[in-house]
């Protein structure tokens, strides 16, 4: 784990108790969709993927770049998929099977999101993670066959929502 990852984790660990202390005792729980602190469930994801902001680290750790950039007219993009086949099928928050990158304008790649990928077999139902139901069956560049997916746009804001399948601000150019 990099120093930057550790510092971010420590800052988050210190901030959360203070943020939660501001909630009055006996207050009604805030629905998950409106919970401004809901991102704390994603802390292990941030910690596990922070080093991959530098794209070569993702490749060194076993994420293979799929060919082409994934975009849909009118919906936005998912960017360039990097898939770690060992993580396909897993639901570990700290072990997403996919990383999503976009061109950074300097000839490199900028990490914009993560993706969990589970194979969709006959009679299987879509799994859930973070209270979100996976989408699909669909296809993912770099993965053979139909799959269920859940994307989290944790490294770039998505006006369509944190777990939306497409990000209208992600471009393939």
By 3-state DSSP, what share of the chain in percent is helix, strand and coil, each rounded to 5?
Answer: 25, 30, 45
Among candidate residues 96, 132, 130, the one with its CA nearest the CA of residue 113: 96
DSSP 3-state of 45: helix
| Residues 47-63 pLDDT 10s | 999 999 999 999 999 99
Taking the chain (173 residues) in consecutive chunks of 10 residues, what is each chunk's mean pLDDT? 48 42 39 49 94 96 92 91 96 96 90 97 90 94 94 96 95 79
Domain ranges of the chain: 52-152
Q: How many CA atoms lie within 13 A of 159 on its CB side?
A: 6
Count of other CB atoms within 10 angstroms of residue 130? 17
**CB neighbours of 173 closer than 8 A, spacing ≥ 6?**
103
pTM for the whole structure: 0.77
| Residues 15-56 pLDDT 10s | 444 343 443 444 333 334 444 445 568 999 999 999 999 999
Helices (H) then strands (E): counts for the chain? 3, 9
Region class of 57: left (phi > 0), else alpha (psi between -120 and 50), else beta: alpha
53, with CB counted inside 10 A (0-12, 13-18, 19+), is: middle
User: Which pLDDT score is estimated for 152?
Assistant: 97
């Amino acid at each position: 784990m990099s120093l930057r990852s550790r510092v971010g984790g420590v800052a988050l660990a210190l901030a959360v108790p203070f943020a939660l202390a501001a909630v009055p005792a006996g207050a009604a729980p805030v629905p998950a969709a409106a919970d401004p602190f809901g991102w704390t469930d994603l802390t292990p994801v941030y910690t596990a993927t922070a080093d991959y902001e530098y794209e070569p680290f993702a490749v060194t750790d076993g994420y293979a770049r799929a060919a082409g950039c994934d975009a849909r007219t009118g919906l936005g993009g998912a960017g360039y998929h990097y898939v770690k086949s060992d993580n396909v099928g897993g639901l570990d928050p700290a072990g997403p099977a996919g990383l999503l990158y976009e061109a950074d304008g300097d000839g490199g790649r900028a990490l914009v999101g993560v993706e969990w990928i589970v194979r969709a077999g006959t009679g299987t139902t879509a799994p859930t993670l973070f209270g979100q139901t996976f989408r699909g069956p669909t296809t993912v560049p770099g993965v053979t066959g139909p799959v269920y997916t859940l994307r989290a746009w944790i490294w770039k804001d998505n006006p369509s929502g944190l777990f939306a399948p497409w990000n209208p601000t992600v471009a393939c150019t």
